[in-house]
Amino acid sequence: MIRSLLDLLPKRPKQHQSTRRNIKGIKRSPNISSRSNLKKLTMQFCLGLASSLAMGITFDSQVGAVPKSISSNSPLIAQISQPNQNNSSSNPPVKDSPVRLLETVGLFVGGIIFCIALDRWFSKRSSPSDNTPLAEQAKKLKQLKIGYPEGMTNLEVLRTQGLLEERLRPFGLSITWTSFLSASALIEALSNGTIDFCGGGGTASIFSQAADHIFVRVAKEKYTAPKGQAILVPEDSPIQTLADLKGKKIVFDKGSSAHYILIRALHKVGLDFSDIEPIYLTQPQALSLFRQGEADAWVIWVPYAQTQARSSYPGRLIADLESIFGDQASVEVPTYYYAIPELVRDYPDLLKVILEEVNEAGAWAKKQELESVQRLAAQHEIDPSIVETLQQRSSERAIIPIDDQSLTALQHQANIFRELNLIPERINVRDGSYSLQTKQNWTY
C-alpha cells in the first residue's frame, strides 16, 4: 500500500544535460517553490498514513466487541460472533479502552517521526551539498559585490537576467551590483575593497597598475565590437577625416580605452598626441560639453548601445575601431574582467562560477545579436558577410583566459603611455600580482 501511495508523489524532472541553458527556461538548481510543495505533500501523506493506520488498529481491536444494545439474536451478530465462539479458547480477551488509546497515540506519534525523517531525506536530496568547496566558500564570503560600467553587454545581461543569483542563491550568498562611470573608477573600487569583481577596458588597468592599485586580471572577452567605440564630430563640423583633427579640442576620458584609441588614430594619419588639445572628462560631462559646441571632437565608448541615453548622442562619425585597427580591434582594445586578489586566492571555485555565468551571458547576447542581424539580412538591409562573421563568433566562447597575445598587446599600450609620460614609470603587465595566467585546463 505504501509503494502505491508513493507512486502518486510527483517525480523530479530529469536534469538538463546541456552545459548551456535557455535563460528563461532551464534551471541549474531545483526550484525552491517546487521543493516546498513537495515537502508539504510529503508531510500530508505521512500524516494521513499515520492517522489511517491508527484508526485501522482501533477498528480492528473493536471488531470482536458487540455493543450491548444490539440483540444477540441478530443474524448479523451471529455471523460476526460465530468465529469468536469457535476460537474462544485461543483468542485473547479484548483490550480495555485505555490500552487501545495508548496504542493509537503511540502509532500516531511514530507516524509523525517517520514523516519528519522522510521530509529531511527529501531536503537533503534536493538541496546543494553543504560540504562542497563552492558551498563552503560561498558561506564564508556571504556577499559578492560586483561593479560594472553602463553598457557592458555581458555584465548587463548577467545582472538583468539574474543568472548568478540563481546559481548561488541555494548556498546563501547574496549579490550586489553597482554601476560606475569608467573602468578606472571600477578598478580603484576593487583596490579599496568597495567591490570584489568587475569588467572594463584594458587601458584603465595600465593606469591603475602604475598607480599601485590592487587587482588581478582574470579573463578577457574574445571579441570587441568593431563599432563599440568611435570618434564623433558635430554634424555641421568642417572636420571630415582624422587628419583634420590637428590643432583641435578633443574630449575623452583620461586613462580609458578612448585615450589609447585617439593616440592610435592620430598616429595612423601621421599626427602626434601633442598635435591636439586634450580635454579630460567622463562621458556624461563630455556629452554636455560636446552639445554646447565647446569641443571639436569626442572619443566615446559604446555609442550605439540600446539605451535611450546612448541612442541620443549627437554628432557624426569619422572613425571607429574597425577603421582604426581593422581585424585586430579585439586584440588592441580588449575588455577584461578583474577581481580582488582574495577572490582569486581564497575563493577559486566561486570565481569559476562567476566566469562560467559571464560566459553564459555572453553566449546568450551573441545569439540575440545574430538573430537580429539575420532578420536585417533577410530584408536586404545589411551585408550578408556580417551574418557569416557573427555565426562563427556565436559558436565560440564569449570570454577566454589571459594569454600571451593578450598581454603582449597590453604591454605595447603601456609602453606607449610611458613614452608619452602619461604614466610615471614602466610597468610589467605580466606581473603575477596583476595578471592570472593559468596553465591548467581553462574550462570556464
Q: Which residue has the higher pLDDT, 126 or 266?
A: 266
Tell me the three cell numbers of residue 232. 564623433
Average pLDDT estimate for 429-435: 94
Question: Which helix (H) or strand (E) is 146 found in, with range?
Answer: strand 143-149
- Sheet containing 197-201: give its strands across: 174-180, 143-149, 197-201, 335-339, 216-221, 399-400
What does CATH list as the number for 138-222+334-362+399-419?
3.40.190.10
Tell me the three cell numbers of residue 365. 547576447
Rg (C-alpha) for the chain, rounded Å, is 35
CB atoms within 10 A of CB 365: 17
Helix, strand or coil, per DSSP, at residue 306:
coil
Q: How many CA atoms lie within 13 A of 104 on its CB side?
A: 18
First vs last C-alpha separation in the chain: 48
Contact 358, 337 (CB under 8 A): yes
- Sheet containing 277-280: give its strands across: 277-280, 249-252, 297-301, 229-233, 316-320
Tell me the C-alpha distance between 376 and 192, whole Å: 46
Tell me the three cell numbers of residue 350. 566561486
Contact 338, 295 (CB under 8 A): no
CA 272-278-282 angle, 5° bins: 135
Tell me the C-alpha distance between 256 and 260, whole Å: 7
Environment class of 28 (CB within 10 Å of its CB; exposed 0-12, middle 13-18, buried 19+):
middle
CATH fit for domain 229-330, picks 3.40.190.10, 3.10.180.10, 3.40.50.720, 3.30.1490.20: 3.40.190.10
Tell me the three cell numbers of residue 139. 558561506
Tell me the C-alpha distance between 378 and 401, whole Å: 36
Q: What are phi and psi of 198, to 5 degrees?
A: -160, 175
Q: Is the pLDDT of residue 434 over 80?
A: yes
Cα→Cα distances 258→98, 114, 232, 310, 423, Å: 89, 67, 12, 16, 16
DSSP 3-state percent helix, strand, coil across the chain (nearest 5): 50, 15, 35
Question: Which helix (H) or strand (E) is 350 found in, with range?
Answer: helix 348-378
Reference 178, options 162, 163, 165, 159; nearest CA is 159
Q: What is the pLDDT of residues 55-70, one digit of tens each?
A: 555 444 444 444 444 4
DSSP per-residue string spanning 177-198 = EEEES-HHHHHHHHHTTS-SEE
Contact 417, 206 (CB under 8 A): yes
Contact 238, 323 (CB under 8 A): no
Amino acid 151: pLDDT = 78
Tell me the C-alpha distance between 135 and 353, whole Å: 11
Name the pLDDT band for 371 (thresholds 50, 70, 90). Answer: confident
- Residue 400 CB contacts under 8 Å (≥ 6 apart), including other chains: 219, 220, 221, 222, 442
Q: Which residue has the higher pLDDT, 281 or 66?
A: 281
What sign does the dihedral 246-251-254-255 (CA atoms) show? negative
Q: Which residues pair with 399 in a beta bridge?
A: 221
Amino acid 118: pLDDT = 66
Average pLDDT estimate for 354-363: 94
Rounded to 10 deg, the angle between the 133-141 and 348-378 helix axes is 90
Name the pLDDT band for 27 (thresholds 50, 70, 90). Answer: very low
Amino acid 415: pLDDT = 97
- Residue 65 CB contacts under 8 Å (≥ 6 apart), including other chains: 94
Helix, strand or coil, per DSSP, at residue 227:
coil
pTM of the predicted model, to two decimals? 0.69
Contact 289, 281 (CB under 8 A): yes
- Select, from the ranges 54-58, 72-76, 289-293, the one with the highest average predicted confidence (pLDDT): 289-293
Q: Is the pLDDT of residue 2 over 90?
A: no
Name the pLDDT band for 8 (thresholds 50, 70, 90). Answer: very low
Tell me the C-alpha distance between 86 and 103, whole Å: 27
- Cβ-count burial 63-91 (b if 16+ within 10 Å, e if not): eeebeeeeeeeeeeeeeeeeeeeeeeeee
Amino acid 36: pLDDT = 46
Helix, strand or coil, per DSSP, at residue 279:
strand
Average pLDDT estimate for 336-353: 96
Environment class of 274 (CB within 10 Å of its CB; exposed 0-12, middle 13-18, buried 19+):
exposed
Q: Is the pLDDT of residue 127 over 70?
A: no
